[in-house]
Every structure is written in structure tokens, then in C-alpha cells.
Structure 1
Amino acid sequence: MSMRTSAAYLTRHLPLRSTLRPVPSLLGPHGLQRSSMATVAPPVTQNSVDKKGPTAIVFLNMGGPSSTAEVGDFLSRLFADGDLIPLGRLQSYLGPLISRRRTPKIQQQYAEIGGGSPIRKWSEYQCTETCKILDKISPETAPHRPYVAFRYADPLTEQMYEQLLKDGFGGGNGGRAVAFTQYPQYSCSTTGSSLNELWKWRNRLENKRVPGESSPNGAITWSVIDRWPTHPGLIEAFARNIEDKLAEYPEERKKDVVLLFSAHSLPMSVVNRGDPYPAEVAATVYAVMQRLKFSNPYRLCWQSQVGPSAWLGAQTSDTVRSYVERGQTDLILVPIAFTSDHIETLYELDKEVMHEDAKGHPGVKRAESLNGNETFIQALADIAHAHLQSGQSCSPQMGLRCQGCKSERCLEQKKFFAGEQAQILPTVR
């Protein structure tokens, strides 16, 4: 996207100053309460004279336990996922072992941030608000119905899919659904894993009915928004949050504040396979710094390493500790790959990095997460609108496999979602 196009987007769509819209509290005395996954709706009536709706907008994310009681199941699913944490042939043995050992510690961490993760609250809010905007700017595909599908916590992908069927999508009724990843930067470990799971449950719940048939009659028609690392609305939302935090420093120190962009790390085995995530995260960082006119020194670092194997670095915690020890104590941490608060921001960055690694120095701060940011939610709606108008099943990038990919599941998933756009390469033996 050119600078002129980016400027035109900002002029048309973005308010003069982004604010946090009040969100009805879902917090109870024991943490986050569950809210319904989607409003029960009448059956789908598709393809009326001048409309293409209703359209299901499905936000994909990793999710998080809404209470400490859900931590064990959450970790069990997470460590069983070889796309996210590859443990090789011993995955079925090591995964449960690691999750059981880590559960008490992780339960305590969630207890310290309020008893559960806020990611479900924010995901449901963001998706609902996106659909409200879409109803206005894309009436031909309205009504737009919000759904959330988490990979490791409720509502799980199979729960979301069953809800779609109950609401009249698929099962002979047809209907359109858009799988909208909430990881702006694509990785086989995150978006790829979520799409593998969606593909699996689509096959189980809407099986082929005739040998050789690509899709049963009346099944859901799926398309995918698989990445959006440099969308101007996303970049503007990040930049404004950074500017708000920079304003808290004295004027004479402001230009020397170091911006530390932090993203979830990946095992080097995944990186070396050709995963596009590191490059796309770097693209987001560079676009944000362009928007800020490179006003400050900056670095990209990585957090949340798990296990003894090599992971992408430098680690955020090590970086902060090193800079503080050298006397650089004005730092802003920017969670650049997360679209809302969760354990990695509220505990890992706020409690561990800022208070332990930075020794509680007041010059070390964190930029706000996107959460209910109006600029960000408008960007989500614009991304979805452009996708609905494009007629594409996914981006051209998604149809190309990683250079070292050996996953048959990934191959079949791409064949399904990318369709004619897929550049299918045979599996490496």
C-alpha cells in the first residue's frame, strides 16, 4: 500500500484521536464470566434478490482460560499442538507431562491478573463491534453475525462450528463464513494451526456426501483473512498508543526513549522451515516506525520462550535487563503481535519484565494494548469489508507452503481454503 493510499485511508476512516470505548464489564467476583458465544438467530436465508448475507464473521485466536479452573485443560490442548510447540514423536507423552507440571504455576499467574484471561471478553467485543460497522458499510452482505473460535480454550473451534450449524449456516442451508485471524502476522504455529483445526471440524461436521465431491450441497462457503501486518488502521492504532505513552516522559528525555517491540517467539525449527512470521512482524514494526517518522531508537525482541530448545531471540526479558544495567532506563514495551491483553501482557510484561527485569524503574513503561481501541476496530471492519468485496478466498501468500513443510494436514487445509489460489507443492520427503 502506497503512502498516498495510506494517507487517504486515515483521512476517510480514522477519528482525530482514538479513544477507548466503554465496554460492559464481564468481570465477576471470581474473574471473567462466560458470555454467550453468539446470539441465537433464525435459520440462514441466503442469496435473496439483491443481498449476499447473512455472513458469519469468525475471529480466530489462541484464547485463554477464563478462570483458574480452566488452566489445566488450556495447557493440555496447547502442549498437544505440534504446530505451536513441536515436540516430535514424543508429543503425546511430553505434552501432558509438561502441562501437568506447569498448571499450578500458571494458575497462580492467572490468579494475579484477576482470576482469568480477558481475551474472550475482548475478542467477543471486537467481533461484535466489527459486525455492527460492517452492517452499515457493507449492507449487501448483511447481517453480519459475530463468532469467536479459540484454539485452546472455550469457545473451541468445534463449539463455534456447532453454533454455526444451530444458527442455520451449512447443513444444507448454505451460507457464507469468513475466518478472520486475529494474529495480524501469519505463522503456521498460530493462524496455520487455527485453520488446520477449522478444516478438521468442517470435515467432521459437514462431510463430503458424494465420492469425489469437493463440497457437499448446502455446506458453508468459507473464505479466509489470513494476515494483515501493515494495514494502515492497525499501524495507526499502534502508533497512537506509543505517542500517548511517550507523552508521559519529560520533553527533554522523550526523543531518547527506546521503543522495544515485543512479539511471541517461535522455535528456531519453525523459523528455519521457512515460517513467514518473523518477516511479517518486522514489517509491522517498520510500518509503525515510518508512521512515527523514526522519532525514537527501537528494537524488535521476542518473548514467551518455552522449553530447552532454541527459540527466536533476543528475548524481551534479557533485552530489558541488559539495557537497564547499562543505564538505559527509559523504555517503552510495545506488544506488537497481540490484539488484546492476555497473560503475555498482563503478567509476563507487566509483572515479570517491568518489575523484575527492569527492577521496577519508573522509566520502563508499556504501551496500551489494542483492546477496545476505536481506530483498531474500524480497521478490522475495513479489512473484512475489503475482503468481502474482493471475491478472493484468501491472500496469495496463504496458497504457498513453507519451503521445508512436511505436513500433509497443512497441504490438505491449503487445498481446501485456498482453492484455485493454492500453489500446491508436493510434500517434502
Structure 2
Amino acid sequence: MGGPSTLPEVGDFLSRLFHDRELIQLPFQSRLAPLIARRRTPKIEAQYAKIGGGSPILRWTRKQGAEMVKMLDELHPSTAPHKPYVAFRYARPLTEEALDEMVADGITRCVAFTQYPQYSCSTTGSNVNELYRQIQARIQQGDKDVERIRWSVIDRWPTHPGLVHAFANRVNAILQTFPEGPERDNVPIMFSAHSLPMQIVSGRGDPYPAEVAATVAAVMQVLGNRNPYRVTWQSQVGPSAWLGPQTSDTVKGWAKQGHKHAIAVPIAFTQDHIETLYELDIELKEEAEEHGMTLHRAESLNDEPKFLRALADICASHLAALTDGATQGSVLPGELTGGSQGVDHFSQGRTSRQFMLRCPGCMNNTCAESKQFFGAR
């Protein structure tokens, strides 16, 4: 999604978000979206002001991309040098700006690599559809530079071993702050992910909840399933039904049951932004304190070494499968290898096999067109 880097960018960010029918569907959306965005802008600006005056997501994403390509050049030298481009959905740099950069650099081969580990048609799907629309618009205008770019897509990686071990490292760092023994082993863990409207989950059949659960189960397996845990959902917007239980309601419920501590893990985010720095670190911690509980938040992945290596490994394996005829799947060295445990079977061919399957309730023709376009390129 991206995030506004400065306070003056908040209004445009919200306007783009509420105009996106692949994320939120409203009656008379073209009229309502700008009204809702204007009404919410002062409140959201105040939240960004409390976390430093803007989102750090662009800074972290660029750092992650830079570190990834350093390793990628060594892991897959036949396609080096590699260069990362950032294409956000609602904040700059937008998809069209990334395409401008690529054309200026003379790029002819590109991997669209989602930074959402778990796929949703409202997040990765919306981003891929926007990329498809921008490409098609330029091709129709006779843009040969864009037309000659060959594409493939890394559309999900929820159980990649590097991702799983990186999350486990972050959780272990928090667990180590508790005394060894029953207190450490009994503190409950909330794996918090961005929620979705129920119309997307139950109406369309979106795979996101299942993929989040798969990540959580894999992380808990690495942790030895020592602690009790739940998957919870945050960032609900508007009065309609969203996926639950809400993270804030979970804190209140556990406090009533007598829990004095809880650990929050942002399981669907790969870098810090408003959902971690404000919603969890400020709002949720204050709520927990009001109910007599202390909330401990696991650090976001950001520049965690295993995570950065995982990004490079996923992309190297993807490129190897396409250019070298190597066995499909992402393999990490050292302690992460060992049979199928070291392979991410979500990464196959030009896209994953899952990507080519539309949601059972999908009514979006752009999804069908973009899947055909990227799957055949």
C-alpha cells in the first residue's frame, strides 16, 4: 500500500485508498471516496505526527531492496546486475512512476515481487491489477519501451523458511525478556494482521486468512509451540463487518481473564509503518495499560538478516527456475535446508499456481485479464 512520507501527502494517500474498489466497495464511490478522505485526513495526520511526521515504509522498503540486490547479484550472477524499484499502490512512488524509472533505465526484464507475504486480492491482487492497467494503457498509446518488458510475478511467500525464521527470531527476542520457566512459556501471543471486509473473505473466497494462518503455524512450529497464541486482526475501517477477532478486543478479553502480559506480533507486515508504530505501539499499548495488562510488541522485520536473505533467495530461485531451468522452489543454505522444509512451493513458474486460480466469487474482469497477461509473459 505504501504510506505518506510527509503530512501533506496524507490526503492524497487516503483518497487513492478509498477510491480502490478492490479494497473497499462503496455506493457512489467516486463521490463518497474524496469526502471520506477529507473527513479522515486531520485524524490520520495527527497519528502520523505522533510517529515522526510520516511513514517510514518507503525508507525501509528501499533499504530492503538495496540489501536484497547485493546478495542477489552473487546468488544469481547470470541476470546481474539487479536493481530494485518501488511501486506503491496509494503513496509515491506510484506504479506509473516506477514504470517511468524502468523505461528511463532501459529495463527489458522485470520481476513484480509483492512485499505482502500472504496474498489477498485486495492487496497484492489490487497492486498487480494496477500494474496491468498501467502497462496496457501505455501499450495502447504505442509505448514500445513498456511493451518489450518481460514480466514474471512473485505473488506470495507465506511459509518461506527465511520469513518464518525471521519472525521466530523477533518473537524469541521478546520471549527472552521474560524469566525462564512458566511465566515465559505461558505468556499469550497475538499474531496481528491487517483485517479485511467480510464481503471479500466470505463473498469472494479470498485466500488471505488461510495464508496468514499458515505463516503463524509455521512460526509456532519453529518456536516449538511453547506458548498459547491466537491470530487477531487490526485496522478495521467503517461500520461494515470485518474479519475478527479484532486485536484490541483480544487485549480487553485477555485482560478480563487475568492475563497481565501479552506479546503482539505484526505477522503480515514486513516493515514498520502506521499500523505498527501507532496502532500497536501507542493505541494498543495504552488500551492494554488501561485494562491492567502490559503489551510487548515484537520488532518488525525491517532489516532482520534472515529476512533480507530470504528476499534475495526467493528472487534468485524464481529467476533460476525461469532462466536456468533449475528446480522450482526457494532453498536456503545451512540450518534451513533439509527436505521439503527448505523449499517454498508457492514460487513456481512465471507466477505461482495459486495466482492463476481466481477466487470462487470473483466478479472482477481485470483479475482474469491480469492473470492471463502475467501468466503468459
TM-score scaled by length of structure 2? 0.90
The answer on whether the counterparts of 1:134 and 1:144 sit within 8 Å (CA) in structure 2 is: yes
Equivalent of residue 74 in structure 2, options 111, 136, 144: 136
Name the residue aligned to 1:260: 190
Deviations 1:22-59 (A, max 9, x none): xxxxxxxxxxxxxxxxxxxxxxxxxxxxxxxxxxxxxx
Alignment-mate amino acid for residue 301 of structure 2: L
Shift in CA distance, 361/129, structure 1 to aligned 2, threshold 3 Å: farther
Secondary structure, counterpart of 2:189 in structure 1:
strand
Partner residue of 2:4?
65
> 2: CA distance between counterparts of 1:301 and 1:362?
17
Does structure 1 residue 334 correspond to structure 2 residue 273? no
Alignment deviations for residues 248-268 of structure 1 (CA, whole Å, 9 cap, x no partner): 112241011101000000000
How does 1:196-235 map onto structure 2 within 5 Å? 196-207=129-140, 219-235=148-164
* RMSD (CA atoms): 1.7
Question: Paired residues, what number?
Answer: 349
5+ residue gaps, structure 1, are 1-61, 170-174, 421-429
- Listed as ranges, the matches of 1:20-419 within 5 Å are 62-87=1-26, 89-169=27-107, 175-207=108-140, 219-252=148-181, 253-272=183-202, 273-359=204-290, 363-391=294-322, 392-419=349-376
Letter paired with 2:227: N
2 CA distance for matches of 1:314 and 1:69? 33
Q: Is the 8 A contact 1:208 1:216 kept in 2?
A: no
What is the percent sequence identity of the aligned residues?
58
**1:40-92 deviations in Å (ceiling 9; x for gaps):** xxxxxxxxxxxxxxxxxxxxxx10000111000000000000111122x4211
Identify if the C-alpha distance between structure 1 residues 217 and 80 changes in structure 2 by more than 3 Å, giving closer, same or farther. Answer: closer
Tell me how far 1:355 sits from its aligned partner.
1.3
Secondary structure class of the residue paired with 1:255: helix
The answer to whether the Cα contact below 8 Å between 2:18 and 2:24 also exists between their aligned partners in 1 is: yes
Question: Greater share of helix residues, 1 or 2?
Answer: 2
The AA in structure 2 aligned to 1:412 is E
Q: Which amino acid aligns with 1:413?
A: S
Q: CA deviation at 1:207?
A: 3.3
Residue 356 (structure 1) shift: 2.1
Following superposition, the deviation at residue 216 of structure 1 comes to 8.6
Q: What is the identity, as a one-letter code, of the residue corresponding to 2:14? A: L
Relative to structure 1, is the Cα distance of residues 373 and 103 closer, same or farther in structure 2, using a 3 angstrom cutoff? same
* Structure 1 residues 258-296: Cα deviation after superposition (integer angstroms, max 9, x where no partner): 010000000000001110000000000000011111010
Render the CA deviation track for 1:185-207: whole Å, top value 9, x for unaligned. 00000000000110111112233
Secondary structure, in 3 states, of the residue corresponding to 1:150? coil
